[in-house]
Chains A and B, each alone.
Chain A
Amino acid sequence: MTTTSERARAQAPPAVETLRTVRERGPDRVPRWLVKTASPVVLVALWQVLSSTGLLPRDVLASPATVLTTAADMWAEGTVQSAVGVSLLRVVAGIAIGLVTAVVLATLSGLFRRGEDVIDAPVQMLRTVPVIGLIPLLIIWFGIGEEPKIVLIALAVTFPLYMNLFGGIRNVDATLVEAARTLGLGWFGQVRHVILPSAMPQFLVGLRYSLGTAWLALVFGETINATSGIGYEMNTAREFFQTDVIVVCLALYALLGLLGDGIVRLLERGFLSWRPAFSGR
């Protein structure tokens, strides 16, 4: 018979490791914001070096310094403000129309079988048409004013939003609906307290995605025929090889896109705080 200690002595000691704890890992690491800002700064510096040494000619891409001066000039002239104002108005109008359309259609077809039969099939068919391809038709229908641009954006927003909201409504946990019924909630109460809140995360995913497509539609709408807006400035600059102006315009698009993303993030923080979600390590 062997005792535990005799057996233990007979075996080679196991390899062990001391696990890192949060406290040791935390403070002496490089702060996260620094890491996050460092890589873009390095890229811009590299760009400036390439421009200054003449490896990157001005006709191909203006240097960051030139872009900054141009931006300041455009701001002083008021070009930036008016262009952004016009473009923002288009995109806000388009998103508003698309949002209302998508919410109405998806709610009807998500909540009612009859609604699905009537609405879902045509929407699924139209969805496969690339929205950008509709531009010629939109110009024929609406001319070259603001309308075709807004309609284009509205269409670009409607489909992704519809898909996500419809999916969200249909993915609701049936056991929760059942529980709500046993609590005496009627149809309206079930929709308000169970179905719509449960579809919210998916809806916000759709909103975020459709903001992306909205900017894309805006860029297309504005570069094809416009007499004002960011895209118009960009098009004019193209004719004179003003790569600095083009970069400024691209940066404006990016900033506006970032703004939209920030708004959705805020909405998510407000609406989805109940969610047990993984937030990265």
Chain B
Amino acid sequence: MATGVQRAVNPVSVRGLSRRFGDRTVLSDLDLDIEPGQFVALLGASGCGKSTLLRILADLDHDVTGEVTVARRRAVGFQAPRLLPWRKVWRNVVMGLPGRPDRARAEAALEEVGLSHRSDVWPKVLSGGEAQRAALARALVREPDLLLLDEPFSALDALTRITARGLVDELWQRHGCAVLLVTHDVEEALVLADRVLVMDGGRIAHDAPVDLDRPREVTDPDFQHLRAELLGRLGVH
């Protein structure tokens, strides 16, 4: 997978993907395409295989069958910030980039997430929300064509989560990368995404565009209608 440079049009193109853990099949014959610049939210019951799919797309899991093509320039944000505690925040941001650590570049990225004043501290002093924003800066400094996010806000408190959500929206508009956001929050999916997927039985069981004008209002009747429909599909009534 992901070997050789290909002129694929889409940042994500998956055909017949299956993944088994022992005799338990978590992904079975899954197909998925994501277009450039598209914001896709992936919903599904806990344990249905969302993280498994994301890890495969992130090239962290190779023990699969099927065909997987992903953008070469991709970045990942996890549920926990996963900053290296022994590197200053700015060094974390440019970690892994070719060449010498470029502080100016790190600070520009931190500025985008409102953290430029925290660039020279140890990760331990950041609050949960700040650490997650630093992780976002670390992802975006790579100018990805594809950003994979696995429940990045779920460990944050409700207020911080709303701010972080707004930030992701703004950064996505500016960078124009395709985003695959795994979330268990239907509202979050509908506020952010162009398209919502629901996973069930090891494949994409539901795939629908979100035809709502931006910025989206939770109180909009169309929004509430879509929300009720999705909750129904997730088995919540």
Q: Is A183 touching B86 in the complex (CB atoms < 8 A)?
A: no
Residues facing A in B63-80 (CB within 8 A) are 75-76, 78, 80
Judged by a CB distance under 8 angstroms, whether A184 is at the interface is: yes
Chain A contact residues, majority secondary structure: helix
B60 to A193, Cβ gap below 8 A? Answer: no
Per the 8 Å Cβ criterion, residues 81-111 of B in contact with A are 82, 84-87, 95-97
CB distance from A193 to the nearest CB of B (A): 6
**What's the least CB distance linking A273 to chain B, in Å?**
7
The answer to whether B82 and A179 have CB atoms under 8 Å apart is yes
* CA of A182 to CA of B123, assembled, Å: 19
Please give, as numbers and ranges, the residues of chain B lying within 8 Å of A216 by CB-CB distance. Answer: none
B84: chain A residues at CB < 8 Å are: 176, 179-180, 193-194, 197
A152 to B172, CA, bound (A): 63
Given A178-B60, A181-B60, A274-B124: A193 and B85 within 8 A (CB)? Answer: no
| A183 partner residues in chain B, CB cutoff 8 A | 95-96, 138, 142
- B60: chain A residues within 8 A (beta carbon): 178, 181-182
Task: Assign chain A's interface to a size class.
Answer: 20 to 34
Q: Which residue of A lies closest to B78 (CB)?
A: A179
Given A176-B82, A275-B124, CB of A193 within 8 Å of CB of B58: no
Rounded to whole angstroms, the CA-CA distance of A200 and B84 in the bound complex is 13
Which residues in B have their C-beta under 8 angstroms from that of A57?
none
Q: A175-B78, A178-B60 are contacts. A198–B86 as well, Cβ < 8 Å?
A: yes
Asked if A108 is at the interface of the complex by the 8 Å CB criterion, the answer is: no
Q: Would A276 and B124 be within 8 Å (CB), given that A175-B80, A193-B87 are in contact?
A: yes
Q: Do the beta carbons of A274 and B86 come within 8 Å of each other?
A: yes
Chain B positions within 8 Å of A, measured between CB atoms, are 58-60, 75-76, 78, 80, 82, 84-87, 95-97, 122-124, 138, 142
In the complex, besides A182-B59, A274-B123, 19 extra interface pairs with C-beta distance below 8 angstroms are A175-B80, A176-B84, A178-B60, A178-B82, A179-B76, A179-B78, A181-B60, A182-B58, A182-B60, A182-B76, A184-B142, A185-B96, A193-B84, A193-B95, A194-B84, A198-B86, A274-B85, A275-B85, A276-B85
